[in-house]
Amino acid sequence: MYKPGDIVHVNDTMQTDYSYRLTAPMGKGFDAGFEPHFSPKEMLKLGVFEGKYCNDCRDEFPKDWFREAKLSDIADPELNCFKIKSRQSLQIWQRNGWIIEPDPRGWFQWYCRYYLGRRIPEIDGFQIKRWRAFRRHAAQVKANCDEGNLLCRPRQRQALLQWSYDPFI
């Protein structure tokens, strides 16, 4: 499963009767300049979004992404890699116009689908531009933290991980 030509059907609490076709091989064929540090599987294993992000939409994605994922029925910052809350609510994302259909959960849902091989050029371009803009946080960590001091700026490091940047800089 999950090869170019496959159609993925989505039916979860936030999206029903949505389908998309995979047009690129999983984890390959990314746009030039889009080089995420982690795969979705690696991010889920390290601990992102307080363990709550993908709970009801696991059927859409490969089962092995969730074998070692840190998941919870309730948001738990202790499940995050840096043991700290580092996200804003979905309502804030919606109010700020950061939720782009057809991905009602936001950037990480888009990234998971992009990683699988879905391509929607106008949406991909928008999300990749947002991803690139996030690199400023890595520059701030590098400028303000001693190398290897993972206790420095943990909220920003957690956010970097949640945008698939290397937070261990």
The C-alpha angle 136, 142, 145, rounded to 5 degrees, equals 130
pLDDT for the residue numbered 123: 96
CB within 8 A of 151, min separation 6: which ones?
none
Q: What is the pLDDT of residues 103-151, one digit of tens each?
A: 999 999 999 999 999 999 999 999 999 999 999 999 999 999 999 899 9
CA dist 152 and 150 (Å) reads: 5
Low-confidence ranges of the chain (pLDDT < 70): none
DSSP per residue, 12-26: SSS--SEEEEB-S-T
pLDDT for the residue numbered 93: 79
